[in-house]
Amino acid sequence: MEMFLDYLWVFLIGGLVCMIGQILIITTNITSARILVTFVIVGVFLEAIGVFDYISAFAGAGINVPIIGFGASLAKGTIGAVKSQGLLGIFTGGLTATAGGIAAAIIFAFIFALIFRSHTKK
């Protein structure tokens, strides 16, 4: 039962975040690049003011899978590195924390671009 509730929160928060994105698309005709940039900055902000961890505690993947989680781990990495390395952490922290995701996206995109052909858009 507890697990069901956890998954329900994941679904509701994740869906809500995505729906906010869709509301932005409908009301402002915003492009997908701007949506992603906006949500990453929101994630950085939520982590910076310390709210993200509270949401993450009950929403789990519902807040970590949306690109907000990417922004939050950028900020979390930077803050942690500033604490341990000082000034250098400002430059190294963010990308160190998100290196896995960025590298994976580049590697898989490159491989699949070599394998697959573009599908004609109908």
Q: Which of residues 87-116 bind other proteins (CB under 8 A)?
A: 87, 89-91, 93-95, 98, 100-102, 104-106, 108-116
Burial class (CB in 10 A: 0-12, 13-18, 19+), 52: buried
Give the shortest CB-102-to-other proteins separation in angstroms. Answer: 7
CB atoms within 10 A of CB 10: 18
Among 2, 4, 26, 57, binds other proteins (CB under 8 A): 26
Nearest to 60 by CA among 5, 9, 21: 9
Closer by beta carbon to other proteins, 7 or else 54: 7
Among 19, 28, 53, 54, binds other proteins (CB under 8 A): 19
Phi-psi sector, 60: left (phi>0), alpha (psi -120 to 50), beta? left
Give the shortest CB-85-to-other proteins separation in angstroms. Answer: 10
Contact pattern for other proteins over residues 29 through 68, marking x by CB under 8 A: ---xx-xxx-xxx--xx-xx-----------xxx-xxxx-
SS3 sequence of 11-22: HHHHHHHHHHHH
Structure tokens at 77: 């990495």
Among 5, 10, 53, 96, binds other proteins (CB under 8 A): 10
Check residue 71 for interaction with other proteins (CB under 8 A).
yes
Cα–chain center distance at 112: 22
